[in-house]
Amino acid sequence: MAEKIISDEQIAILKSKIRDVENFPKEGIVFKDITTLLNDYESLNLVIESAYQFFKDKNIDFVAGIDSRGFIFGTPLALKLGVGFVPIRKKNKLPAETYSVTYDLEYGTDTLEIHKDAFLNKDSRILLVDDLLATGGTASASIDLIEKTGSKAVYTLFLINLLFLNGEEKLKNKTDVISLLDF
């Protein structure tokens, strides 16, 4: 299980702010909707402040966020840490020269990209942020992109880890996984 950075009481508060939406985006799926957490200042602040307290002494050079909800948490965290933010985007969304990685999804493939000059120096220590860890495919592809730049994703941070999908298995040899909430 991913390392914990908040108390059981804080976990209960944050879980109470996430609603389940049945049959979204398709029949049989129970979607964890974080918009109800995002519109609550105290809960959103708890997420960012807890992550900041955990990572402030970890010598992070940049925060990278995965398109698109990784941007929501990654950008304010980068500001608090006093480091730059780097977006990892879906194909054809970045304007300059990119590295790309195509990876498998449940029903097809997807492609992520990062600017080739995303990090100011090679060997940067990167904190990769996203809202949800499911099967680990997107996070694993993002880590591969970061490595193509010559840097290393030393940590991945997720708001939610869906334990039953075993996403950590795909990441365990690549990075340290930290999550706030396990479902």
Which residues are 89's β-sheet partners?
113
| Cβ-count burial 140-176 (b if 16+ within 10 Å, e if not) | bbbbbbbeebebbbbbbbbbbbbeeeebbebbeebbe
Which residues are 87's β-sheet partners?
65
Q: How far apart are CA 179 and CA 170, in angstroms?
A: 15
Nearest-5° Cα angle at 66, 37 to 153: 115
- Tell me which residues are annotated as active site: 69, 106
Q: How far apart are CA 180 and CA 17, in angstroms?
A: 13
